[in-house]
Chain A
């Protein structure tokens, strides 16, 4: 039986070396190009004819815009709207990477921790840079939860520091682990279906179909979570609460 982790392996398709740096083309790079051109193409197409009674594509785009706007207004409020292009790009890129990866033979870019970690680190450094540029050194106040007595500071500051540093890690690992786990399960079940006789083999095959449906759902949820948390972290940097998660609905 094939190694269930085989679909995650990457082999260069075209060997390119530039100034000693290996920038070979592989499946993941091609998938990212496909995703970018697909997202850009669809949205540009949807935006060309702005009709009062929208076409199918236009109403889908409007729903998306409305959805992302809802996320931003919920977590950051009105002033967060200047991050709309960034959040929308992030959401759509991750969503399409996740969804297109489900097509047999395609590659799930988000199952590479390099990709998710790059996103997570970028988002987190952006929130830290935003915090420092808005509040200066007062931004370090997020390491001290409000109402901490002075004698608890030596304990609370390391804890808060760890909880801050855990943010990029949990962002990266969550997306990567969910996509990898889902595809591994699919690969294992499909391997079982192929290696068993038809009499029992149809059962794991039926499961692969069911789990494929679940994966579509997970692809959406993971893209949603990633963008919500990006908003929450950026919102923390704006409002300087340190735990903006806590503001009630």
Chain B
């Protein structure tokens, strides 16, 4: 783990502070992992909201289809959310 703000700011040749003399590469497993972890929750939630929202729009403005648009939208949204989370997880560095 590299603390993001712990760069070594020696203006002298950057010897003697090897661990901190670069910002963490974006492939740093700690960063990549944390990034993914932060993503998951919203990934699930956002798709659910969009699905339910589209269903509600269809119910209210397109067809007077009662609650069924919201029901179908929420189900599709839940599937899409899991799909998004799955795709985000596939990017997890495996090595």
Contact = CB atoms under 8 A, between A and B. Distances in A.
* Main SS at interface, chain A: helix
Interface stretch (A5-13, A17-25, A31-39, A166-174): A166-174
B95 A53 contact: no
Contacts of B23: 63-64, 66-67
A56 B38 CA distance: 32
Contacts of A159: 76, 79-80, 83
Given A162-B54, A166-B46, A243-B87, A216 B80 contact: no
Contacts of A40: none
Given A162-B80, A170-B46, A249-B93, A56 B88 contact: no
Nearest to A249: B93
Contacts of B76: 158-159, 162
Contact of B46 (A160, A173, A225): A173
* Main SS at interface, chain B: helix
B45 to A, nearest CB: 7
A68 B84 CA distance: 24
A110 interface: no
A230 interface: no
Interface residues of B, number: 44
A159 B47 CA distance: 9
A173 B42 contact: yes
A62 to B, nearest CB: 10
Nearest to B73: A162
A63 B27 contact: no
Given A60-B9, A174-B39, A224-B31, A162 B91 contact: no
Nearest to A99: B5
B63 to A, nearest CB: 15
A225 B27 contact: no
Nearest to B41: A174
Interface residues of A, number: 42
14 contacts: A59-B14, A63-B22, A63-B23, A66-B22, A162-B54, A163-B81, A163-B83, A169-B49, A170-B46, A170-B47, A247-B91, A248-B94, A249-B32, A249-B94
Interface of B: 3-5, 7, 9, 11, 13-14, 22-27, 31-32, 34-35, 38-39, 42-43, 45-47, 49-51, 54, 73, 76-77, 79-81, 83-84, 87-88, 90-91, 93-95
Given A60-B7, A162-B47, A166-B47, 17 more contacts: A53-B13, A59-B11, A60-B9, A74-B26, A159-B80, A163-B81, A166-B46, A166-B84, A170-B39, A173-B45, A217-B3, A217-B4, A221-B4, A228-B35, A245-B88, A246-B91, A249-B32
Return the 4 tightest CB-CB contacts between A and B, nearest first.
A170-B46, A166-B47, A163-B80, A162-B80
Interface of A: 53-56, 59-60, 63-64, 66-67, 70-71, 74, 158-160, 162-163, 165-167, 169-170, 173-174, 177-178, 216-217, 220-222, 224-225, 228-229, 243, 245-249
